[in-house]
Structure 1
Amino acid sequence: MNFEKFRTETAEVSISKFEGKLSEEYNLFITPSKSESVEEQLNAIRNALTAFLNKENYTSEHIAFQRLFVSDFTNQSVELDKTDLFNCDCALSIVQQSPLNGKKVGLWTCIYKDKSSNSFHKKKEGNKLVIDHNGYSHIYTTQMHSTDAETCSYNQTNNIFNDYLRILDGHNLTLEEHCIRTWFYVRDIDNNYAGLVKARNEVFDQFQMTKDTHFITSTGIEGRYAAPSVSVLLDAYAIGGIKPEQIRFLEAREFLNPTHEYGVAFERGTAVEYGDRRQIFISGTASIDNRGEIVHVGDINGQIRRTFQNISALLGEANAEMNDISSMIVYLRDVADYATVEAYLQEKYAHLPYIIVLAPVCRPGWLIEIECIAVKEISNSAYNCF
């Protein structure tokens, strides 16, 4: 993994690059450097991304996925509605999770480019993007929410799952075999998370996804959609053409307990094996021990250290380490902890691309939660390259 940072006049860019056998994979976090209007900050992000694409001789068509973190989705929605940054048919996710550097918006974007003539083929339909390449179909589905917005979080989650299952079925895929990663954003998480958990557990039971089989790597966190009546928002990533033996679930039992022991259903991490790389998806991870107890209650410094110990242990099960991380999102419950967390990250992991956002965690005692994606170079002739 290679890391780089650069600045434009109005933005800061942090980059990871993985160069595989057939294709390159970039992750970028871009944040404006000036406190201006939403429109001006979006322009700053757009200009910085354009500068990167021009530097690497890429085009907007190489952009696969983008997530905008915004400070006030409802009041910013007019500007955001006209902000497909490049009109490039990428998977676009927008969530209200305020960047804690004081800016109104921040961007995470993922870019793929084939090194030969066998290009990535993109097809966008509504909130679904399908990318076909080398025998795999990468299906990003974003901004899923219930149109029956007057109902509770339990019913909204059920409606979302019904819609997502129809999408997967349309590609001859299943939830249990092909969905790799989900992100659940919950408005007023302290009150609405229980409804999400109940609905998800019931759906998983329906598809024989249990503690004895497997769940799905996930983040469930505070996040808002523009419409105030939407309690639950879902982004998801699935892979077609993948074989069961290419997927491994990570536990790190010495450090973490199985999630079902405290009533929820998600995997701590998932490693996906390709011919040239291992992609590792780490769920939202907090300061918890192998009995399910919060470690360092009320102590942000202690919780940071324990959270990274847990992440390191999960990565280790996939023969990876912190320097293999390509992107990282840090969620804080209390804005007052930002300076402490930013100082720690700058001391220990300044080279990694990351963003820190305001997003209360599903368990009030957790002050911080971190998710990440890592990419490890391998060579496995049993599988197609990415």
Structure 2
Amino acid sequence: MVQGRENTRPAPRRAPRVSYRQADPAAVLAEPGALAVFGFGAGAATSDDPRWLRVALETFDAPAPLEIWQVDAPVTQGREGDLCWAAGGGWLYAAVELDEAVHGGPRATAATAYAQLRAFLAGRSERHVLRIWNYLADINQGEGDDERYKLFCEGRVDGMGDFFAEGFPAATAIGHHQAGARLQVYLLACDQAGERVENPRQVSAWRYPRQYGRSAPTFARAMALPAQDALAISGTAAVVGHASAHEDDLLAQLDETLANLEALLGSAGMGAGFDTQSPLKAYVRHAADAALVHDFLQRRLPGVPVLSLHGDICRQELLVEIDGWRYA
């Protein structure tokens, strides 16, 4: 045994700080440690900075805030073809946006996006993917195995190959309503691995039965970041076991979703509840439900920052989905 070997291990990376803020994008991008900045909807600003992404989901919040990721280190950034990236302090943001009209539909486009990300990450020290977001058009269109979400899942498996052999990252997949079938995929990676967290109330997504498609969804329910100081929570809805619950009952789905979130916190050893430093996103299928969802979450999660977005859930019968962050 080499004496002192345990002292040579790098300290776990402190989690990036994720927040929502009303601000000028250019000013935020000029702040120290700005790793990524997100605007929402067609009215969001444009920028050539690789760290800026205009997400193809409209927000119900007016004026729309920015989502900001910051790290405690200088940040470098760049572009490689369709891919934008930024890195600092052992953390990496990367994003790909592709047009299905160019790449041949949801399966081929997803395969191309994930293959590009895989090739890029293979040359980086920050190759441990902890969290991924996927936004695609018309997610529920199509019948049976031809549903666009199921085709996306097949393409994701094709593109990732064996890259996630160590385990899948936390993830979200939501349908957007913007014109044009564009796929947006972005991720957070690190030079240290996180710890996957599953929900005892749910079947692990990659073990779903055949009824959910030829390729099961490939994601963990949550990811504890390397320093165990934050939990990245996947898109969470009213699913118990592997079945959707409370069809057409929005309030019951919200109750079930919060029960699933609390179960995840318990599995991760994070303690109960969310606080003012725990930013969440609520994806709401029907615009007419936005006010009800807002009021419900204000009552059940007082003081918790929640960004409300108009997006379709990956199952037609689900009306709302929540993801986000819980800091220790």
Structures share fold, TM-score greater than 0.5: yes
TM-fit CA distance, 1:359: 0.2
* SS class of match (2:36): strand
TM-fit CA distance, 1:269: 0.8
Runs (5+) with no aligned partner, structure 1: 1-20, 32-44, 115-119, 377-386
Matches within 5 A, 1:101-180: 101=61, 103=62, 105-112=64-71, 114=72, 120-126=73-79, 127-131=84-88, 133=89, 137-145=90-98, 149-172=102-125, 174=127, 178-180=128-130
Distance 2:50 2:77 in 1: 7
TM-fit CA distance, 1:22: 9.9
Cα displacement string for residues 28-48 of structure 1 (whole angstroms, at most 9, x for unaligned residues):
3235xxxxxxxxxxxxx329x
* SS class of match (2:262): helix
Distance 1:208 1:125 in 2: 23
Matches within 5 A, 1:47-58: none
* SS class of match (1:128): strand
Cα displacement string for residues 325-379 of structure 1 (whole angstroms, at most 9, x for unaligned residues):
5211100001111121111111122311221010010101110000011121xxx
Distance 2:21 2:111 in 1: 34
**Which residue is 2:39 aligned to?**
68
CA RMSD of aligned residues (A): 2.9
Distance 2:111 2:153 in 1: 11
Cα displacement string for residues 46-76 of structure 1 (whole angstroms, at most 9, x for unaligned residues):
29x96xx8xxxx9612322211111xx3xx4
Q: Does 1:269 align with 2:213?
A: no
Q: TM-score, normalised by structure 1?
A: 0.70
Matches within 5 A, 1:1-386: 26-30=17-21, 45-46=23-24, 60-70=31-41, 73=42, 76=43, 80-81=45-46, 83=47, 91-101=51-61, 103=62, 105-112=64-71, 114=72, 120-126=73-79, 127-131=84-88, 133=89, 137-145=90-98, 149-172=102-125, 174=127, 178-191=128-141, 192-204=148-160, 206-207=161-162, 209=164, 214-223=167-176, 228-230=180-182, 232-240=183-191, 242=192, 244=193, 247-253=194-200, 255-260=201-206, 261=208, 262=212, 263-274=216-227, 277-290=228-241, 292-320=242-270, 321-323=272-274, 326-376=278-328
TM-fit CA distance, 1:310: 0.3
Shift of the 150–64 alpha-carbon distance from structure 1 to 2, 3 Å rule, reads closer
Distance 1:169 1:322 in 2: 37
Distance 1:105 1:96 in 2: 13
Distance 1:223 1:287 in 2: 20
Aligned-pair identity (%): 19
* Contact 1:279/1:373 (8 A) holds in 2: yes
Distance 1:181 1:360 in 2: 20
Distance 2:60 2:116 in 1: 33
* Contact 2:33/2:70 (8 A) holds in 1: yes
Distance 2:17 2:195 in 1: 23
Distance 1:196 1:23 in 2: 33
* Contact 1:29/1:108 (8 A) holds in 2: yes
Distance 2:224 2:245 in 1: 26
Shift of the 209–108 alpha-carbon distance from structure 1 to 2, 3 Å rule, reads closer
Cα displacement string for residues 228-268 of structure 1 (whole angstroms, at most 9, x for unaligned residues):
242x210111111x1x5xx2211122x11111214221111
Give the partner amino acid of 1:373: W
TM-fit CA distance, 1:99: 1.2
Q: TM-score, normalised by structure 2?
A: 0.81
* SS class of match (1:149): helix
Shift of the 269–25 alpha-carbon distance from structure 1 to 2, 3 Å rule, reads closer
TM-fit CA distance, 1:96: 2.1
Shift of the 315–333 alpha-carbon distance from structure 1 to 2, 3 Å rule, reads same
